[in-house]
């Protein structure tokens, strides 16, 4: 049992620990936005992540621990708002696939793009902080050499 806990701790630290240290949790953003407001929203999400102290925008999923996937559409075909779907996933411990974290849908008007992006990034940051706390807790609770002997 102690060996499996130790191995789990090592896997968690390997996946998240290096990311969270200096440059922020690496995040990849993919967006399918065929409407003007949707394009602005995806761009604003990327820019908000770039400005974040706790997150780091990545160019590919291979370099990211968290992945944002967004799809948008203009429900009225007049460029005044977008309807979006947001899904956040995290890399599995062996980084071979991504696991579901959370999702939601929303409507964003042309004059509220920045606020909508901030809400999305706040959700990403919340998940990132949860992982960072898990790493800190795992490191604090690592078995000592004496525990391994027993």
**The pLDDT of residue 6:** 41
Q: Of all helices (H) and strands (E), which one includes residue 6?
A: helix 2-12
**The pLDDT of residue 53:** 95
Contacts of 96 (CB under 8 A, 6+ apart): none
Contacts of 45 (CB under 8 A, 6+ apart): 29, 31, 68, 70, 117, 120, 121
Query: How far is 99 from 110, CA to CA, in rounded Å?
Result: 32
The answer to whether residues 69 and 105 touch, using CB atoms and an 8 Å cutoff, is no
The model's pLDDT over 40-65, given as tens digits with 9 standing for 90+, comes to 999 999 999 999 999 999 999 999 99
Question: Which of 54-58, 109-113, 133-137 has the lowest average pLDDT?
Answer: 133-137
**The pLDDT of residue 16:** 53
Supply the angle between the helices 113-140 and 36-51 in degrees, to the nearest 10.
Answer: 40
**The pLDDT of residue 75:** 97
CATH (residue range 23-130): 3.40.50.10070
The model carries a pTM of 0.81
Q: What is the C-alpha R_g of the chain?
A: 18
Supply the angle between the helices 113-140 and 2-12 in degrees, to the nearest 10.
Answer: 140
pLDDT: which is higher, 65 or 142: 65
**The pLDDT of residue 8:** 44
> How is residue 95 written in tokens?
């980084």
**The pLDDT of residue 96:** 72
Q: Counting Cβ atoms within 10 Å, is residue 48 exposed (0-12), middle (13-18) or buried (19+)?
A: buried
The model's pLDDT over 84-108, given as tens digits with 9 standing for 90+, comes to 999 999 998 776 788 999 999 999 9
Binned at pLDDT 50, 70 and 90, residue 9 comes out as: very low
């Amino acid at each position: 049992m102690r060996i499996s806990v130790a191995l789990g701790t090592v896997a968690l630290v390997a996946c998240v620990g290096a990311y969270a240290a200096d440059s922020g949790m690496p995040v990849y953003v993919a967006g399918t936005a065929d409407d003007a407001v949707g394009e602005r929203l995806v761009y604003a999400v990327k820019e908000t992540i770039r400005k974040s102290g706790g997150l780091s925008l990545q160019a590919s999923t291979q370099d990211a621990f968290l992945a944002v996937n967004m799809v948008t559409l203009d429900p009225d075909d007049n460029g005044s708002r977008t309807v979006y779907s947001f899904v956040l996933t995290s890399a599995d411990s062996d980084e071979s696939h991504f696991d579901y974290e959370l999702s939601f849908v929303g409507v964003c008007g042309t004059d509220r793009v920045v606020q909508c992006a901030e809400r999305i990034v706040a959700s990403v940051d919340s998940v990132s902080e949860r992982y960072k706390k898990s790493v800190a807790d795992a490191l604090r609770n690592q078995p000592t050499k004496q525990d391994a002997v027993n």
